[in-house]
Structure 1
Amino acid sequence: MNNSVDSLWHYYQQTEFLFTQILSTQLSFAIITAYNPKGEVLSAPQNGLLDRKLQHEINRLGLPYRSMVGASQDRSHMEKSWAIATDKASAIKLGCLFNQNAIYYVEADNLQLVPCLMAQEETLLGAFSPRVNRVLELPDIE
């Protein structure tokens, strides 16, 4: 994967989302991962440790959440992520805490790509629900 800022921003705009349970289109929530901070691809154990730290932080903050996966359209790249019921400003802080280039924010079924560490403009990506794929189980990510 080419990790230039423009390439990463383009890849982020193509993401699809795997859920075991469909969320209401009326909800507002953030989608945040701890995987691959600053776009640097880490090993499965490193990403797993960061993911557990993020889940611990979400629990510490007392925020409702749901486990899910962000994936490229061809599923060649997947990252364990969390749909978190929080406001956008708090979500950006959490993304920055875990060195994420960007997060997603969903409001009234509108998907936004929101920069954290990148100097990009927030990008409206259209309806969220067509990007959601319901799965029986989340895939194991290596």
Structure 2
Amino acid sequence: MNPVYSETHFKTPFYITNWANEFAIITAYATTGEIWTKERNNRADKNLWSELQKQSDWIKRVTGYSPTSGHAEPGWAAEISFDIACNMGQLFYQDAIYYVENDQLYISFCDHRRFKVLIGDFRSRVSYKNSAKEYSKRLNAP
């Protein structure tokens, strides 16, 4: 597995207080080693979101990024099973998906090599575009 996957951190556009106990993080952007047009990436992302809506009521925007290279890729956190997550990853040409169980972050290939490999705590790798204070202000605004 590409070692860069294990250094991934995540950011969300808003502070999330209701993380599910178990969920997948999947992207539909160009798989490792490929370059797709902006239009193709956006279309794949919208299609992934549509497919996830059929499987889950809990879906959040999450962008994975490398703190060393700065590469970032938008994806979706969705409360789905590990097998469904791997199947979705394959459907959208992904090499691997992230999976979270009780705040533990795992990574797995999507193909026949699927197996959860622990890479650390999830929430310690999450940052928010807007802070909790800004989020509270937004909730309490008239």
TM-score normalised by length of structure 2: 0.80
Kindly report structure 1 stretches of 4+ aligned residues shifted beyond 6 Å: none
Which whole-Å CA distance do the structure 1 matches of 2:58 and 2:78 have between them? 6
2:31 equivalent to 1:33: no
2:108 equivalent to 1:114: yes
Q: Secondary structure at the match of 1:37?
A: coil
The percent identity for this pair of structures is 32
CA contact (8 A) 1:113 1:123 kept: yes
Pick closer, same or farther for the CA change 1:29–1:82 going to 2, 3 Å: same
Gaps of 5+ in 1: 1-5, 138-142
Gaps of 5+ in 2: 132-142
Letter in 2 for 1:111: L
Which has the greater radius of gyration? 2
2:56 equivalent to 1:80: no
TM-score normalised by length of structure 1: 0.80
More displaced 10-residue stretch of structure 1: 88-97 or 67-76: 67-76
Once the two structures are TM-superposed, the CA of residue 67 in structure 1 deviates from its matched residue by 0.9
Once the two structures are TM-superposed, the CA of residue 62 in structure 1 deviates from its matched residue by 4.3
Letter in 2 for 1:97: L
Once the two structures are TM-superposed, the CA of residue 23 in structure 1 deviates from its matched residue by 4.5
Which whole-Å CA distance do the structure 2 matches of 1:75 and 1:41 have between them? 17
Once the two structures are TM-superposed, the CA of residue 132 in structure 1 deviates from its matched residue by 0.5
Q: Secondary structure at the match of 1:45?
A: helix
Q: Over aligned residues, Cα RMSD in angstroms? A: 2.2
Which whole-Å CA distance do the structure 2 matches of 1:21 and 1:114 have between them? 26
Once the two structures are TM-superposed, the CA of residue 126 in structure 1 deviates from its matched residue by 1.3
Match 2:4 to one of 3, 6, 11: 11
Matches within 5 A, 1:92-111: 92-111=86-105
| Alignment size in residue pairs | 130
Pick closer, same or farther for the CA change 1:46–1:107 going to 2, 3 Å: same
Letter in 1 for 2:70: S
Which whole-Å CA distance do the structure 1 matches of 2:42 and 2:6 have between them? 24
Once the two structures are TM-superposed, the CA of residue 11 in structure 1 deviates from its matched residue by 1.0
Matched with 1:140 is none
